[in-house]
Structure 1
């Protein structure tokens, strides 16, 4: 390991062994550098790196603190990485999503509370109402799935899937679906997921989510030869799906 990597590992070890628990303030720079046998420059580089990965938080004029180390915070980088991916790399991420998201949706069907189901329904209805607004459709699509992931009760799984199936990727897909006049079908797939959750039917929820993720994967495979950007397109004309009537 490089000297900087060694410095990072020494600080990480203090966190892992509980010497610096979540929320703890790091000792003054000179004191910590002496304790770890590091130069102050190396210590600063290590702190900057750990702040980038959300392990540490530098508060100007106050000091450096260990973050909450929550899954949502530590896995935030997954979403940032997905935003940068193109081509075959995106397909690989979609395959990962196809492996995990149906299972998570099935799990959510067994654990979802009435309040959580109401939240999922709210975003489904908002998608149906936002027939001429791609940005609103994308926002509520993302929120719909995050509400489903939260219903699993597994924060790590929710954070991971939230990053893999993030809003930026959904935006690109929504615009492609708008061009293909397939947005109505996609909303119908969301409605199928909702109704499976409402009936606490795990196998049906799993199948509905698998069908939905396959729509995204198919679109990506068909469009790998094109640039996946967020350029403006005409908004999709969405018809309220029969499955969502009264939802």
Structure 2
């Protein structure tokens, strides 16, 4: 372990022990460095690393603070890491989604409010309208799943699933581009999920979500075996735009 890593560990210990609770301000750099027996340079490097990890935040002209330490903040970088995965690890991501999302959907069925259910229904209706528009279909597809997972009330679970959604969304979009029959099947699978949520049937919702995720996984596995599963190239247009379902002028996530 490098000296910088040791410095990071020392500050993390203060946060974990509660000596530096969420939202608290760190002592002045020199004071903290002295208390921890570190040089100012090591302290500076440790703080920078913890800022990147979203454990600390620097407020210009005010000082350094511990962040809220909320899951959405600390786990928000998962998506960026997932997007860098290569080759067969794409299948591993879909397997992780298959493990988490059906259970989460079942949990949502038991907890979803009328307002949350209406939001899910709105995205389903938008998917029906967009069934011939792959880009728009997949945008509302992603929002449909976000609304479902949000209904669990579990921020950690929602953040983790959001982190893997980018890569699996790529698979769904590409599937829609190469398979003319993908849109009707995808829509039918979402209808089944919505109906189970509306009935408050957790077991049925879990089964419907498992069927939906497994369909995508089977398709992807078959194409990987054929050596065909790879993101579209620039020849098909701007890949980041097409894959993520955003207009060319606004390349953000759906």
What corresponds to 1:45 in structure 2? 45
Residue 115 of structure 1 and its aligned partner are, at CA, apart by 0.7
- Asked if 1:228 corresponds to 2:227, the answer is no
TM-score by length of 1: 0.87
Where does structure 1 lack aligned partners over 5 or more consecutive residues? 236-247
Cα offsets for 1:117-151 (capped at 9, x unmatched): 01111111122222344333232222111111111
Measured against aligned partners, the alpha-carbon deviations of 1:98-121 in whole angstroms (never above 9, x if no partner) come to: 111111111111111101101111
Aligned to 2:179: 180
Q: CA RMSD in A?
A: 1.8
TM-score, structure 2 as length reference: 0.85
Distance 1:194 1:15 in 2: 42
The residue aligned with 1:170 is 169
| Aligned pairs, number | 233
Is the CA contact 2:108–2:152 (under 8 Å) kept in the aligned structure 1? yes
SS at match of 1:87: coil
For the structure 1 residues 230 and 13, does the alpha-carbon distance in structure 2 shift closer, same or farther, using more than 3 Å as the test? farther
Where in structure 2 are the equivalents of 1:92-103 lying within 5 Å? 92-103=92-103
State the alpha-carbon separation in 1 of the partners of residues 176 and 81 from structure 2.
23
Quote the Cα distance in structure 2 between the aligned partners of 1:24 and 1:119.
37
CA-CA distance at 1:175 after TM superposition: 2.4
CA offset digits 1:57-111 (Å, max 9, x no partner) = 1233332211111111111121111111122111112111111111111111111
Aligned position for 1:241: none
Secondary structure of 2:4 counterpart: helix
Report the Cα distance in structure 1 between the residues aligned to 2:11 and 2:221, rounded to whole angstroms. 43
